[in-house]
């Protein structure tokens, strides 16, 4: 007969005493600490990952993802910093790149957070999955041939190198999605 373990027993078990606890625990801990802007906790969990021998490129890759996913437009330079940390880890490797990882961790944890672009993209992806490949409005289609121009491709599309600002005279989304707003600026 197989043995079972209750949830209460699992949650009351003492934590591992070495850094080699499951990767997902360490990864989740550093991400959640960085999301919460707790620099000290994020550094501690980074140190745990380093001590456990985690691949520095894995850690740096998570930083790049975090910069776009959780910081986004609140601090667009976070992506630049995260990419630079990744590149430094790629070039330098352990043990020296530990300082680059610490630099990135402190920077990302200290940034304001904004998931508006992440959420907006998720909504756009949901519409693509729901509606499939809706027809692109004719005025947005390129017209490299006379036939395409005669069919109305690119007709009335407004563009000039001096034009500044959004257009409001024509919908740029497929007809079924007119008026849809994905991005909500915070």
86-100 tens-digit pLDDT: 999 999 999 999 999
pLDDT at residue 100, rounded to an integer: 98
> In the predicted model, what is the mean pLDDT of residues 13-42?
74
- pLDDT for 109-150, tens place per residue? 999 999 999 999 999 999 999 999 999 988 888 888 999 888
Fold of 17-110: Zinc Finger, Delta Prime; domain 3 (1.20.272)
Is pLDDT of 175 > 60? yes
Please indicate whether residue 153 or residue 115 has the higher confidence score (pLDDT).
115
pLDDT at residue 160, rounded to an integer: 62
Q: How far is CA 50 from CA 13, 56, 65, 173, in A?
A: 24, 8, 19, 46
156 pLDDT band, cuts 50/70/90, is confident
- 173 by DSSP, 3-state: which? coil
Query: Element (H or E) spanning 10, and its range?
Result: helix 7-12
| Residues 94 and 58 sit within 8 Å (Cβ to Cβ) | no
The model's pTM is: 0.77
> In the predicted model, what is the mean pLDDT of residues 147-173?
75
- The chain-wide mean pLDDT, for the chain, equals 86
Q: What percent of the chain has pLDDT over 70?
A: 79
Domains of the chain, by residue range, sit at: 17-110, 135-162
Interacting residues of 141 by C-beta distance below 8 A, sequence separation 6+:
148, 153, 154
Provide the residue count of the chain.
Answer: 186
Helices (H), the chain: 7-12, 23-35, 39-51, 56-66, 77-92, 98-110, 116-131, 146-150
């Amino acid at each position: 007969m197989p043995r079972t373990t209750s949830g209460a027993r699992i949650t009351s078990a003492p934590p591992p005493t070495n850094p080699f606890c499951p990767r997902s625990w360490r990864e989740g801990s550093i991400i959640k600490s960085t999301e919460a802007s707790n620099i000290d906790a994020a550094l501690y969990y980074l140190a745990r990952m380093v001590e456990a021998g985690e691949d520095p490129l894995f850690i740096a890759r998570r930083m790049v993802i975090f910069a776009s996913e959780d910081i986004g437009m609140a601090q667009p330079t976070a992506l630049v910093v995260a990419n630079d940390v990744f590149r430094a880890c790629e070039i330098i490797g352990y043990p020296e790149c530990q300082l680059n990882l610490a630099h990135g961790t402190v920077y990302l944890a200290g940034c304001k957070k904004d998931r508006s672009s992440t959420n907006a993209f998720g909504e756009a992806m949901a519409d693509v999955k729901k509606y499939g490949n809706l027809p692109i409005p004719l005025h947005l289609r390129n017209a490299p041939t006379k036939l395409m121009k005669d069919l109305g491709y690119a007709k009335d599309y407004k563009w000039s190198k001096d034009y500044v600002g959004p257009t409001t005279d024509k919908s740029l989304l497929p007809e079924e999605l007119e008026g849809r707003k994905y991005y909500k600026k915070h």
